[in-house]
Structure 1
Amino acid sequence: MSAVRALRQLTASSSRVCAARNANRTFTRAAAAALPAFRAASVPAARAFSVSARRFGEGASDVALAQKLSEELKYEKESAAPSDPDFLTAFKSQGVWKIQDTVGNDEVTLTRKFGNETIRLMFSIVDIQTEQETEFEDGEESAEADEDQPIHSYPIRCSLSITKGSNPGALSIDAMCQDGAFITDNISFYPDAKIGTDLTAEADWKRRGLYIGPQFDTLDVTVQEEFEKFLQERGINDSLAMFIPEFAEYKEQKEYVGWLQNVKSFIDA
């Protein structure tokens, strides 16, 4: 969810609360003054609602909901970025990483070759959705305090795997991408590359019983430094750390527009 859309929702929510309170006071006074007339007309009103509901389909609220979805969809399309924004075009032109982005999925996979190695990096847009929702729940004070923070300051978890051709083993690195840098959490080694890289429930179950290695920050400082050089040489660098959150925002916006279209089509059917 983009920050602009989240702010619009926060403002709209506050407006709806005030409007609901005013409407409730107005309705209470009007209902007290016209109570006899309301009782006399109660039966015909119920019949009119029944006929109207059948005319609209399964519910009288369908038309209003479809209208609101249409308005939101129009707004999002007008403010949407082009299909290939500049940052994405520049990233693709480097020819280093291939992007596997399936419409409707919340995960993105980047892959590349480095010598005899196959490198796969995965991240999810769920992190950006959760972080933005938390920010706006904290209120205006929190927003003002974060004015000086970078645009892409939220953390995104990344899962990296490295395999070597016919070599049966695999390295698995868990890291956090934030503020234009990767922060490594731990590095695991799996003697069986299939267990270390497969995305099946069976492989995940087998991994749970294996030693995942020490916390990265508990390693000797010189070992940490050499590991960081190892990863940077393979393109796990600041440039990639800047790209990931930007692409996550871009994909989340596309998925939201698709969600609006699908839900509206379902309501209209």
Structure 2
Amino acid sequence: MMSLRTLARSAPRALSRASSAFTRSQVAGRTIQSTRTSAFLRPQQASAFSTTVFRRTAAADIEEELSAKLASEIQFEEEVKATQDQPASIKDYLENGPFQIKDVPGKEDVVLTRTYGSEKITVTFSIADLQNMEQDVFDEDAALGDEEAEGKEAEQDGAEGEEDLAEEPSVPCRLNVVVEKPGKGALAVEAVAQDGAIVVENLYYYQDAKLAHAATADASHASQDVYPGPPFGSLDEDLQILMERYLEERGITTALAVFVPDYMDMKEQKEYLAWLNNVKSFVDTAA
């Protein structure tokens, strides 16, 4: 299910964006009118000095207003953060899970690594999935702008209540899993973690393990020339089951499927709050 934090944030943002769009249209109208008036009176102006002062004052007002809005958003995010405890799934997994986590502040990707015998296993996921999900929700809400659609939606919400929210699917989190063996290349698995389950979508084999990570443009280009194999869903059913068990033994389990969406949501909130503070610091710094 989409987290309460995501729902709490998406609603005020949607309202704010809608309000901003209306405000921009009003401002645009005033700007056009103001421009025409200024053009009409321009021959009577003695100098441009007063106009320059006005522009500087207006710019200062805009910066002050922007800073205040950023401060308000920061306060909102801090309040949301203070009212929500860290999910137990995150604490339990970090303490008892088999993977070591690499989470660099300011980066979208999170990397989990572990060894299994002589194998090196890497799992990568990104908070971009959550951001895309929030954008999709906003786009869908914006498309229901007429009163009839809003009335039907309100009626359905009233009838279904909280039970409907409980059944709403969680954010699908894409996982890139790489299993490497020394001198034997690597298996690369594309999977999705959602609703406590991991669904394998594609399975690749690379003789050169570097191609499985495709960390550079050259490696990414070279990996495209490798035969990708058939879609995982088209494989023999027993083969699919055995491959899933193979991955489970290496830590690609239900516990991981529960941990990733919760951690991704927490990280996205931290990154957004840090971004707000960085932007406010930039705006508040004197030129």
Structure 1 length as normaliser, TM-score?
0.82
More helix by share: 2
Percentage identity across paired residues of the two chains? 33
Map of 1:154 onto structure 2: 171
Residue 137 (structure 1) shift:
2.1
Cα deviation code 1:118-165 (max 9, x no counterpart): 11011111111111211132126399489345566221211110012x
Map of 1:138 onto structure 2: 140
Residue 86 (structure 1) shift:
3.8
Map of 1:5 onto structure 2: 9
Pair 268,43 (structure 1): closer, same or farther in 2 beyond 3 Å: farther
Residue 255 (structure 1) shift:
0.7
Residue 238 (structure 1) shift:
1.2
- 2:269 aligns with one of 229, 253, 256: 253
What are structure 1's unaligned runs of at least 5 residues? none
Residue 61 (structure 1) shift:
1.1
Q: How does 1:86-97 map to 2 (within 5 A)?
A: 86-97=88-99
- 1:116 aligns with one of 97, 115, 118: 118
Q: How does 1:68-107 map to 2 (within 5 A)?
A: 68-80=69-81, 86-107=88-109
* More displaced stretch, 67-76 vs 46-55: 46-55
Aligned mates of 2:51, 2:114 — CA distance in 1: 61
The aligned length equals: 259
Structure 2 length as normaliser, TM-score?
0.77
3-state DSSP class of the match of 1:138? helix
Q: How does 1:28-107 map to 2 (within 5 A)?
A: 50-51=52-53, 53-54=55-56, 59-80=60-81, 86-107=88-109
8 A Cα contact 2:214 2:223, kept in partner: no
Map of 2:239 onto structure 1: 223
Aligned mates of 2:119, 2:17 — CA distance in 1: 51
Q: Larger relative CO (CA 8 A, sep 6+): 1 or 2?
A: 2
Aligned mates of 1:60, 1:200 — CA distance in 2: 45
Map of 2:252 onto structure 1: 236
* More displaced stretch, 246-255 vs 145-154: 145-154
The amino acid that maps onto 1:160 is V
Aligned mates of 1:203, 1:123 — CA distance in 2: 19
3-state DSSP class of the match of 2:120? strand
The amino acid that maps onto 1:121 is V
Pair 214,22 (structure 1): closer, same or farther in 2 beyond 3 Å: closer
Pair 151,76 (structure 1): closer, same or farther in 2 beyond 3 Å: farther
Residue 50 (structure 1) shift:
3.1
Aligned mates of 1:236, 1:118 — CA distance in 2: 13
The amino acid that maps onto 2:79 is E
